[in-house]
Structure 1
């Protein structure tokens, strides 16, 4: 059934993929974000672009007027920054949008959460749908995404079905997080691998993530109050990613094993200095980044298949390598 959708965070890589997927289904789409520079590309997809800062004081009623479904992908996604900025972008904005959507009579609200809530200094394989998040979360991004997710799920009702999707490590066109960070490491003369790079990670192709989210939007009345983990379903060792990425970028970095206890000490000191000096620049190593590289994290995909009918169709590592090759060609 064709619906009138609002997609927030539409100027990001996932947001653009969502607009594309929604339009392919024939939905009418209002796309919003803070970067008006990308409005033309979204309008070319058939969306109506409305620039907005969801956390800014002001009435959101015009944004959600006539909207039947909200897909809330807007967020401050980073491993470092001021706590107030994360609260504003990830909690305050979500609360305001929830209230506006409810008042406007929206029937569905899909929140894009994050598996960063599980990041910890231990291996967690085949994480299930009811798995407990890390306690405490490793950074303010994970902390505020968890708070926002709980807020959305608690708002589920017969009037507005609310659910959440947690896509893991998104790669593809528009990725401004994963590839830039990995490329920075691969361009160094010596590439440090915590624990020798034996931890296993999962990536998710942006197209698969968008498909899963659209399936959740379609089935929201049946999965209200539930958060579902999404990934490409193909765990791969960090060391293998490093080797293949270096080849794609044409670099010849020496892979160096970094003992995890030493790396953790470095991260603690680096974070402490960053807070003491109120530095806006991300420390050379954070506990969150270390945990994602040194400890395995993979998901049980059975709930996504059972509840959404979702199966990943793309090899996310190959997508990452293809993007790396294009990135190299443009340099």
Structure 2
């Protein structure tokens, strides 16, 4: 297949583009700037989705749309321009191509625990971040198209520059203080499992629709973080703060940041993601995409 991959310079987009090129697909990765993603058997083109439709060669069998602004404190206009409007631009730029859209579990209601949520439980009607809201609106842009929407949660693995590195950066002294000490269940998503889901979604025989994507079985978030600390040889222990107190503190920090036109140390969205259960029902992906994910694995995490 001839496949376009947007957001190829990012963690997810780069992994997807490389895996597809390794599988002998004709891949063109797209990103906003140079230097970009590279692969010995693939091409790279500069394209900023916010500047309008792609010009030049647009003949592709499929497009994997990974580009996005993953920032829970981004100004609403900026988040909408990249995530919602950018998705609209992708749809217009690749007429007739099968679209695999990388969405997120953040489209579910973050105000409450997500316990084995199913695809029909989202998108929510209320949001804790502009990221969640704009990604929900991005899904609406795909209505009536031949699109497969994937909703992973907490993507991690080799090349991750956001999830686990940010948590490790929160260590102060020998303490990592988290809401509820992270004693909550999560459906994490290893990058290899997400790539597997993309490859299954690209198969023309699979149906369009929306699918939760995650590792084989939910895990206790605190146990995962303790293993990461151990593998990284970081001498620190996890301590907890009650969820209600953490959420209220984050709200105060957000208000102060708005007044100062700065960025808060943490957000209510971040607290909600760390201190509440976030588990996904992946039965639909197993059945309709023939998705067979591996269990959560931190093998090699000491080198990530």
1:326 aligns with 2:303: yes
Once the two structures are TM-superposed, the CA of residue 259 in structure 1 deviates from its matched residue by 1.0
Query: Which of 2, 5, 10 does residue 3 from structure 2 map onto?
Result: 5
Are 1:147 and 2:137 matched, yes or no? yes
Aligned alpha-carbon RMSD (Å) = 1.8
The whole-number CA distance in structure 1 between the counterparts of 2:225 and 2:29 is 36
Cα deviation, residue 5, structure 1: 0.9
| 1:172 is aligned to 2:161 | no
Between the aligned partners of 2:33 and 2:212, the Cα distance in structure 1 is 28
Residue of structure 1 in register with 2:192 after alignment: 207
Quote the residue 1:24 is aligned against: 22
Distance in 2 (alpha carbons) for counterparts of 1:222 and 1:135: 29
2:31 maps to what in 1?
A: 33
* Contact 1:194-1:294 at 8 Å conserved across structures: yes
Q: Deviations over 1:38-74 (max 9, x none)?
A: 34xx232x111101101114x413252x212111110
Instruction: Give 3-state SS (helix, strand or coil) of 1:223's partner.
Output: coil
Hey, what's the Cα distance between the residues in 2 that align with 1:28 and 1:188?
48
Contact 1:166 1:228 in 2 (8 A): yes
Alignment partner, residue 249 of structure 1: 232
Q: Is contact 1:270–1:284 with CA below 8 Å preserved after alignment?
A: yes
Structure 2 residue aligned with 1:216: 201
How many residues matched? 304
Structure 1: give runs of 5+ residues left out of the alignment. Answer: none
Following superposition, the deviation at residue 203 of structure 1 comes to 1.6
TM-score normalised by L of structure 1: 0.86
Q: Matches of residues 25-174 of structure 1 in structure 2 within 5 Å? A: 25-39=23-37, 42-44=38-40, 46-57=41-52, 59-64=53-58, 66-102=59-95, 106-152=96-142, 154-156=143-145, 161-174=146-159
What is the TM-score with the length of structure 2 in the denominator? 0.93
Equivalent residue, structure 2, for 1:237:
220
Q: Which runs of 5+ in 2 are unaligned?
A: none
3-state SS of 1:37 partner: coil
Q: Distance in 2 between matches of 1:173 and 1:196?
A: 25
2:275 aligned residue: 294
2:184–2:221 CA contact under 8 A, matched in 1: yes
TM-superposed deviation, 1:130: 1.5
Distance apart, 1:211 and its partner CA: 1.3
CA distance in structure 1 between the partners assigned to 2:224 and 2:43 by the alignment? 38
1:222 Cα deviation from its structure 2 partner: 4.4
Measured after TM superposition, the shift of residue 187 of structure 1 is: 5.1
**Separation in structure 2 between the aligned mates of residue 186 and residue 240 of structure 1, nearest angstrom:** 16
Matching residue of 1:271:
254
Using the TM superposition, give the Cα deviation of residue 179 of structure 1 relative to its aligned residue in structure 2, in angstroms. Answer: 1.6
1:305 corresponding residue in structure 2: 286
Inter-partner Cα distance in structure 2 for 1:63 and 1:9:
18
SS at match of 1:243: helix
SS in structure 1 at match of 2:4: strand
